[in-house]
Amino acid sequence: MIGLEALIRWRHPEMGLLPPLQFIPIAEEVGLIEQIGEWVVRSACRQHEAWRQQGLLHGPVSINISASQFIKPGFADAIAQILRETGVPSGQLELDLKESLLMHDPADSMRVLDELKRTGVGLSIDDFGTGFSNLGFLKRFPVDRIKLDPSFVREVLSHPDDLAVTDAVITMAHKLGMKVAVEGVESGSQLALLAEHGCDEMQGDYFSPALPVDLCTALLQERRELPEDKRRRQSAGRTLLLIAGGAAPILLPEGASCRLIQASNAVTAFDILASEEVSVVVCEQDMHGMSGVEFLGRISRMYPRTVRIMCSDNSDAALVEDAVNVGNVFRFVRKPRSGEELAATLEAAFAHHESGAARH
User: What is 4-230's CATH number, 3.40.50.261, 3.30.420.40, 3.20.20.450, 3.90.850.10?
Assistant: 3.20.20.450
**What's the chain's average pLDDT?**
89
The DSSP string of 100-150 is HHHHHSHHHHHHHHHHHHHHT-EEEEEEETSS---HHHHTTS--SEEEE-T
The span from the CA of 192 to the CA of 229, in Å, is 9
- Angle, vertex CA 292, rays to CA 286 and CA 295, nearest 5: 140
pLDDT of 338 reads: 62
Q: Which CATH superfamily is domain 239-355 in?
A: Response regulator (3.40.50.2300)
Condensed to tens digits (0 to 9), the pLDDT of residues 216-271 reads 999 999 998 888 777 788 887 899 999 976 555 566 666 667 888 999 899 999 99
Residue intervals in the chain for CATH 3.40.50.2300: 239-355
Smallest Cα–Cα separation from 279: which of 256, 263, 254, 303?
303
Condensed to tens digits (0 to 9), the pLDDT of residues 200-222 reads 999 999 999 999 999 999 999 99
pLDDT of 335 reads: 74
116 or 288: which leads in pLDDT: 116
Confirm if 146 and 168 have CB atoms less than 8 A apart. no
The span from the CA of 184 to the CA of 129, in Å, is 14
pLDDT of 358 reads: 42
**What is the C-alpha end-to-end distance of the chain, expressed in Å?**
38
**138-142-144-147 Cα dihedral, nearest 10 degrees:** -40
Average pLDDT (79-99) is 95
User: 258-285 burial string, b = 16+ CB within 10 Å, else e?
Assistant: beebebeebebbbbbbbbbbbbbbbbbb
Q: Is 198 left (phi over 0), alpha (psi -120 to 50) or beta?
A: left
Which residue type occupies 100?
Answer: S
- At residue 360, does pLDDT exceed 50? no
Condensed to tens digits (0 to 9), the pLDDT of residues 315-327 reads 788 888 888 889 8
**How confident is residue 313, by pLDDT bands cut at 50, 70 and 90?**
confident
* Strand ranges across the sheet with 307-312: 259-263, 239-243, 280-284, 307-312, 331-334
The strand pairing partners of 265, in sequence order, are 288
Residue intervals in the chain for CATH 3.20.20.450: 4-230
The DSSP string of 149-183 is -THHHHTTTT-HHHHHHHHHHHHHHHHTT-EEEE-
Q: Name every residue whose Cβ is closer than 8 Å to that of residue 286 and which is 6 or more positions away in sequence.
A: 245, 246, 292, 312
